[in-house]
Chain A
Amino acid sequence: MSTPETAVPTHKPKQIDPRGPRVAAAFTSILLAVTIVVALTGQNVAALILLAVIVVLFALGAAGSPAYPWSLVFTKLIRPRLAPPAQTEDAAPPRFALLVGLIITGIGLIGGLAGIQLAVPIAAGFAFVAAFLNASIGFCLGCEIYGLIVRVRTASSRN
């Protein structure tokens, strides 16, 4: 994130290394798995704190913040050890996917704070499946949703 973006041609949207979001999804799914076990064993306060941390992480990522920890871990620690990516991808769809994660875990957090204890592991469970698919096979559910929204928007703006 500290590298200047000047190398990116101006006509192209911001590009990222596609392995970054997958690494972030792997870390996120571990955190979500821990949250699920903690919540199910009745440690409600600890589960809420964990889920709140995940919500903040999703929010930082969705906002494109340079302080997004998984992005820092990837660019500082992991990418220097890897070969350059075969290709880059648009930053917008994976960022939207983080927004979807933020909404799902945010609903769980609000539910948990409102006293609906089951909301925490259920929300974490849905987010876990999505994060797991992204980390394991690179299938980004949020990116698919992003694509559908772009299509609907373009179609309605044409009419």
Chain B
Amino acid sequence: MSVAAAFAVLAGLIAVSLALAAVLARTRGRGRVVRPSRAGSLPELPIADAELGDTATFVQFGMQSCAPCRATARRIQAFAAENSGVRHIEFDISQHPDLASKLKIVSAPTTFLLDSHGNIRVRISGLPHPDELVHHVESLAPANDTNQPGAVDVHA
């Protein structure tokens, strides 16, 4: 192969890598709204109603050794501290393999945003962008208006 052709192959490889990096950078850390028909809810998760935030609850599945998991926990905890009604609950994915397979969790961390009723509304893979936390919690706010704190027991 000529030198020019070899560099062309390398350029192609770099282009593929850049495209992959762009896709990963755009999808990881960004919330995906879960369709209501496919969304799971609180009964699938080992969370009591009383543990839910009045507005939103971030349920994070992570692992001890995973660096982005710890960064995610720090970021959501800081967000929850600034926003009343928002809570953060963390599970070790390796201790809950049944949940991991039921919720189709492949990469760690995977974080679910639950509304005040405990329904899964948004799914985020990787370290969530700060603006995504704000955006998706705000999108839950209307539902919260009809749900007074203390009247969370909707799926009895």
Contacts and interface: CB of A to CB of B under 8 A. Distances in A.
A143 B97 CA distance: 19
B107 A144 contact: yes
A90 B1 contact: no
B13 A37 contact: no
B62 to A, nearest CB: 9
Contacts of B18: 136
B146 interface: no
A93 B65 contact: yes
A151 B100 contact: yes
Contact of B14 (A13, A132, A146): A132
> What class of interface size applies to chain B in its complex with A?
20 to 34
Nearest to A150: B94
A128 B18 CA distance: 11
Contacts of A26: none
Query: Do most interface residues of chain B lie in helix, strand or loop, or is the interface mixed?
Result: helix
B24 interface: yes
A42 interface: yes
B3 interface: yes
A63 interface: no
A18 to B, nearest CB: 6
Contacts of A37: 3, 6-7, 10
Interface stretch (B50-58, B66-74, B82-90): B66-74
A27 interface: no
Interface of A: 13, 18, 33, 36-37, 40-42, 87, 89-90, 92-93, 121, 125, 128-129, 132-133, 136-137, 139, 143-144, 146-148, 150-151, 153-155, 158
Q: Which 8 A-B pairs have the closest CB atoms?
A: A89-B67, A40-B6, A154-B94, A155-B97, A132-B17, A90-B65, A37-B6, A151-B94
Interface of B: 1-3, 5-7, 9-10, 13-14, 16-18, 20-21, 24-25, 28, 63-67, 70-71, 74, 93-95, 97, 100, 106-108
